Chain A
């Protein structure tokens, strides 16, 4: 996509190599491969590679998610040829030196440990564990478990890359101060002969099943705040009611002026902020409400949040709220596609989620067409407070009495 007002190019190379494609026992190998990818190539050591990239004023960012691994960079347009040459080297001829793989593995183990101690991340991880059944991949942390990561080495990483890094199921998007023809020519020069592994045989994605209500407190003695989460499984990306659901979520907790934020922050002063979000991926998704509140108002804040959620699930948005949310989502959309980097990231989604080319182009139109009936249908179909998991990371001794008086269900207390 050409954009010529600023001399930058952003490029994203998408590989069909997400964590969901990892065999059992190897959880975390996709992220490990991604993070160790810059450890060295057939032609240069990791240090030489970093030096070469950074002397071009750029650097590669490898991010591995559930559905894909993407390698992205932004550089001055005149550097694109050199950057593509380095990118091609990195993706096609990685060497995964044992000491580099081991180093990154140690970092991942440390990161897993860190996540257990950061209340927000701990709450996010525990919610997923509760919402998704043990046989669904989203049940576990993206990075894997300490046991699985411990068992990985340079051989497991290399064999993962051999099986998954290739042109099939992936692609390149570029945005910036160059014509599509120029980009095509450069891409062909550096990636033209790439064949890669054959397409893996994979069944259709396994969608998660909706569970039952559970109430969990993860005990963090003497915590000054409680992390609150309310959540349940959601539909996959591309689900027929996706747009109405996004509009409805904006009303409930997706915007500053949402019902949840107005009630918990602006009326009650319970929190710095509260949001509800949809994470929709290839193999299903999740809906979740999240906030942190002072320990002593934990019960009161939870009662308010459940009240707002339940009422919304029953009634759906009002006409006025719906029109506000449509205007907001349609309006801010272009603001989030301002830079070449933002545009490239959005276009990469077309590859990852196999969306039609005009998906983003038609987004504002589709949002504006969401009417009350479809918004309510989306709420009815996809929001379900009665089955939502309620999770608190906080001081169990102090929050339990109030929590039990809310009668949300039997409360399970765990150590953090």
Chain B
């Protein structure tokens, strides 16, 4: 049982504040989750939530363009933000005597972003994001795997059908009106969780948080996620795709539609992927890499998503000249084979998961992030303290049943990349 001490407060404007003091090192992690991600994007604006995240670093009413990074770096802090399907997070870790700076910067852009917006900033960041897309998706071997798999596993009207980065065209279509509307709809204190973890005294920190955030007005309730979020538990068939691309080695991806993070089955999925591919004792590694030697590397993980259904993904990379039939067949066989998983294999996975969780909590920034996540997605930051128990409750019988229900050929997307033949 973990025992992270914390307090929860809700300000008058609806901002939820989690305070998790830890005086071990003179550092504080500030972590802010907004309940908005790519799932909230409307048609024709894919990628907008992420582009908007970039705009949050372009200055606000009292912070000039470029000053945000400068001030935090000058304070000896680190900072960043990430956009994901269901949420967007902003975070900085600073020496504890610079807590005010982090709070002020976050509050200024939560309260007063729009007065500082202009077309030039938007144009500049649209270019930066399009370059990000080129660099991470279009110019990378296998770079578009998630785009392809998401489109196979989720129908076009589901919010996970499109990726967080969005399409080149949509990124280019974003307007200042979009920025304003998105900000006023989603970037409101009542749609956010602010977590502080580290070296502070809770009463003092709360007073500071109130001073910076209290006057920011709340917004209306966030509109429902667009599209169809309820889906059948399984895809209904095996969908296959093979692409020739600029890749060095053949690689097969297998994806399945699985229950979301909010259901107990998600923990089973987590353990199942660990049995498959975490460490050298994992099945895919033992069988395909070590014994049969048909794979160069393997990976498996479950996306922690909350909207209707989620996604489990595994992959095996072959060798030059690998037969795609062999890769696809071997991967499918191992995934189905989880229906005979042993108690020993589950124990191994749980031992790894336990150390993994403690390592995450060790770092203030990820501890704060986990508290924010549990608060925003489950309404209870303290759920983190019982995470180990939920993991440990997973049994081999659970994994077997999960595999039988959800890892069969009626719930499968198979995507294989093959090196483009020399012309």
Contacts and interface: CB of A to CB of B under 8 A. Distances in A.
A340 B24 CA distance: 13
A406 interface: no
A271 B279 CA distance: 36
B124 A266 contact: yes
Interface residues of B, number: 64
Contacts of B95: 331, 334
Interface in B245-285: 246-249, 279-281, 285
Contact of A335 (B77, B139, B246, B285): B77
A294 B131 contact: yes
A118 B141 contact: yes
A329 B74 CA distance: 9
Contact of B293 (A106, A111, A117, A333): A106
Contact of A118 (B77, B140, B290, B319): B140
A257 B138 CA distance: 27
Interface string B134-146: 1110111100000
Interface residues on A, range: 35 or more
Interface string A309-342: 0000000000000001001111111110011110
B351 A56 contact: yes
Contacts of B141: 114, 117-118
A147 B156 CA distance: 49
B16 to A, nearest CB: 26
A236 interface: no
Interface stretch (B65-73, B305-313, B325-333, B408-416): B65-73
A70 interface: no
Contacts of A324: 70, 73-74
A225 interface: yes
A168 B134 CA distance: 48
Nearest to B140: A118
A225 B135 CA distance: 7
A96 to B, nearest CB: 15
A272 B296 contact: no
B375 interface: no
A327 B74 contact: yes
Interface stretch (A3-11, A14-22, A203-211, A378-386): A3-11
Contacts of A53: 279, 281
A257 B248 contact: no
Contacts of B129: 272
Nearest to A74: B359
A338 B66 contact: no
Given A117-B247, A328-B76, A57 B354 contact: yes
Interface in B69-111: 69-70, 73-78, 93-95
Contact of B281 (A50, A100, A269): A50
Contacts, number: 176
A55 B344 CA distance: 9
Interface string A254-290: 0111000010011101111000000000000000000
Interface string B119-152: 0000111111111101110111100000000000
A272 B134 CA distance: 9
A116 B246 CA distance: 11
Contacts of B358: 6-8, 76
A276 to B, nearest CB: 15
B147 to A, nearest CB: 15
A58 interface: yes
A51 interface: yes
Most A Cβ at <10 Å: residue of B22, B130, B281, B361: B281
A59 interface: yes
Interface string B15-33: 0000000101111000000
Contacts of A64: none
Given A110-B248, A113-B249, A338-B363, A330 B135 contact: no
B347 interface: yes
Nearest to B356: A57
A257 B354 contact: no
Contacts of B135: 225, 271-272, 292
Contacts of A54: 279-281, 348, 351-352
B348 A51 contact: yes
B77 A331 contact: yes
A110 B320 CA distance: 8
A50 B78 contact: no
B161 interface: no
Nearest to A116: B248
Nearest to B125: A269
Contacts of A103: 289-290, 293
A234 interface: no
B331 to A, nearest CB: 18
A223 interface: yes
A51 B75 CA distance: 45
A75 interface: yes
A4 to B, nearest CB: 9
A38 interface: yes
Interface of A: 5-8, 38, 46-47, 50-51, 53-59, 74-76, 100, 103, 106-107, 110-111, 113-114, 116-119, 223-225, 255-257, 262, 265-267, 269-272, 292-294, 324, 327-335, 338-341
Interface of B: 22, 24-27, 65-66, 69-70, 73-78, 93-95, 123-132, 134-136, 138-141, 246-249, 279-281, 285-286, 289-290, 293, 296-297, 317, 319-320, 347-348, 351-352, 354-355, 358-359, 361-364
Given A5-B24, A47-B290, A265-B128, 16 more contacts: A6-B361, A51-B281, A54-B348, A55-B348, A59-B279, A110-B317, A117-B141, A117-B248, A118-B248, A119-B139, A225-B135, A269-B125, A269-B131, A292-B134, A332-B78, A335-B77
6 smallest CB-CB distances across A and B, nearest first, come from: A331-B76, A269-B127, A50-B280, A57-B351, A57-B355, A50-B281
